[in-house]
């Protein structure tokens, strides 16, 4: 599994810098929780990693390669899996077709759906021929995660994967993310508002405010006082 290092990232929409000097490390197999109030730059950070903002300056290395100059598809092919907010599955495609879309980012050309995806999310096997648009929100989120995993990524980036999802599926998704990290060794970068889950699942946290890192550390250092100061509304 690869490491990722960001150094003094400035990311822009138009002429306005949304991220301002953000730096972080993701070591091999590590779990990093990105936290902060709404509108502070969390989603922009993930989009910057994927090359989805208007402009990004600074340094961003994945393994031994600088990737800021690469396109989004090129970054995916290096092994960065991304599950955006809103899931963005293709509603007219079946579950199988949506998952197979992920395999097109595989550099080895394989088009097989890994068996463990259906062990992790059995409902997807049951609904394999159903259109993605006919699934519930939680099932669509499971499908979006399976699609990203079908590309055999080295790290997985998730933007609030349990937001607005029915409670019985939230636990399944949280358990799957932890299992992918601890059992399969996937590096995880997770934007998450659920403080107890972020604290228990992650190794380290990054706290953003107004596009800057205001606090970073090991997850057991994220005290209730810090949560009250930086995360409560």
Question: Per residue in 24-63, pLDDT tens?
Answer: 999 999 999 999 999 999 999 999 999 999 999 999 999 9
Q: How confident is the model at residue 93 (pLDDT cuts 50, 70, 90)?
A: very high
Handedness of CA 111, 117, 123, 125 (dihedral sign): positive
| Percent of the chain whose pLDDT exceeds 90 | 84
Report strand pairing: 212-218 vs 31-35: unpaired
pLDDT at 233 over 80: no
At 19, list the tokens. 């991220």
**pLDDT tens digits for 145-187?**
999 999 999 999 999 999 989 898 999 999 999 999 999 999 9
- Please give the Cα distance from 66 to 59 (Å, whole number): 7
C-alpha 9 chain-centroid distance: 18
1 pLDDT higher than 80: no
Once rounded to an integer, what is the mean pLDDT over residues 84-100? 94
**Which pLDDT does position 229 carry in this prediction?**
81
CB contact at 8 A, 222 and 205? yes
Mean pLDDT on 202-222:
94
Q: What percent of the chain has pLDDT over 70?
A: 99
pLDDT(232) > 80: no
The pLDDT, as a whole number, for residue 118 is: 96
3-state secondary structure (DSSP) of residue 79: coil
Counting every residue written for the chain, the total comes to 233
- CATH annotation of 4-230: 3.40.50.300
Q: What is the DSSP string of 114-131?
A: PTHHHHH-HHHHHTTTSB
**Domain layout of the chain by residue ranges:** 4-230
pLDDT digits (tens, 9 = 90+) for 113-151: 999 999 999 999 999 999 999 999 999 999 999 999 999
**What tokens were used for 156?**
């997985």
């Amino acid at each position: 599994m690869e490491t990722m290092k960001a150094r003094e990232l400035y990311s822009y929409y138009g002429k306005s810098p949304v991220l301002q000097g953000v730096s972080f490390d993701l070591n091999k197999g590590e779990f990093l929780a990105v936290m902060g109030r709404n509108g502070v730059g969390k989603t922009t950070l993930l989009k910057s990693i994927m090359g989805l903002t208007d402009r990004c300056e600074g340094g961003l290395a994945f393994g031994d390669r600088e990737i800021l100059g690469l396109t989004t598809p090129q970054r995916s092919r290096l092994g960065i899996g991304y599950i955006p907010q809103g899931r963005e599955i293709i509603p007219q495609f079946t579950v199988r077709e949506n998952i197979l879309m992920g395999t097109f980012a595989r550099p080895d050309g394989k088009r097989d759906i890994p068996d463990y995806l259906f062990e992790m999310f059995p409902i997807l096997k049951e609904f394999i021929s159903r259109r993605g648009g006919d699934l519930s929100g939680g099932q669509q989120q499971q499908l979006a995660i399976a699609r990203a995993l079908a590309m055999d990524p080295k790290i997985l980036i998730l933007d609030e994967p349990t937001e607005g999802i029915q409670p019985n599926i939230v636990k399944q998704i949280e358990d799957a993310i932890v299992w992918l990290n601890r059992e399969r060794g996937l590096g995880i970068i997770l934007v998450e508002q659920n403080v107890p889950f972020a604290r228990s699942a992650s190794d380290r946290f990054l706290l953003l405010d107004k596009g800057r890192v205001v606090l970073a550390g090991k997850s057991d250092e994220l005290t209730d006082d810090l949560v009250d100061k930086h995360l409560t509304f």
